[in-house]
Structure 1
Amino acid sequence: MRSSGLMRKSDAFLLLSAALLVLLGASFADAALGRVRGAAALDARAEMVERLGLTDLVLFTEARYTRHPSQADLHSAFQDHPFAMDHFPTGSLLPPPMKRARP
């Protein structure tokens, strides 16, 4: 017989799984509340974009292919030499745009 103070491995696993599921649910609830809290700021930004006539999101300020990824040409990252190393730090975060399929 086992002593009553020890927990079986399966019980510990189920307890841990239940705790992790509660935390997962809490993260979804926090995300939903964040959307509600951020709705006013998002509306204000959308109004500013409309008022200023901005066309695209500016992600970085360095290389032209990282400023507006949807507007960059395919070879802008390799404008100096085809095998040249990218000298902008954001080039490691955002690769050159992928070739788009023709419509």
Structure 2
Amino acid sequence: MMLRRSTIYLGTTMGLILIMVGLFLHASGQVRASGSLFARKIVLVKQLELTDLCLFTEASYTRHLSMTDLSTPFQDSPMALEHFPTGALVEPPPHLVRNHGSH
């Protein structure tokens, strides 16, 4: 028996929608279950006076995103290429580029 392409398409689409709904339900359950863990971590962060989360370990301007400036990636030379791959993944903080949009 040969299935029509539209039947295959609709079946695949419905299957993917069901998977997506399942993922959303699972995520909301995990968020509710980990509420007390987050509350304890918030208290720990306040006690230790921790600041920013360190996402990358390569360069100072990707380690501490809120403490960088626009010229830090080009500290060797204004025409220098990016040394680290994470520089291509991370944008400067919004407060730095807000006033530099268009001139």
TM-score (normalizing by structure 2): 0.73
Question: Is 2:10 the counterpart of 1:17?
Answer: no
Number of aligned residue pairs: 98
Judged with a 3 Å threshold, the aligned counterparts in structure 2 of structure 1 residues 13 and 50 are, in CA distance, closer, same or farther, namely same
Larger radius of gyration: 1
Larger CA deviation: 76-85 vs 55-64: 55-64
Gaps of 5+ in 1: none
Distance in 2 of aligned mates of 1:90 and 1:63: 9
Aligned twin of 2:88? 92
Aligned twin of 1:48? 44
Higher helix proportion (structure 1 or 2):
2
Higher relative contact order (CA 8 A, sep 6+): 1
CA shift at 1:96, angstroms?
Answer: 4.3
TM-score (normalizing by structure 1): 0.73
CA shift at 1:51, angstroms?
Answer: 0.6
Distance in 1 of aligned mates of 2:83 and 2:4: 56
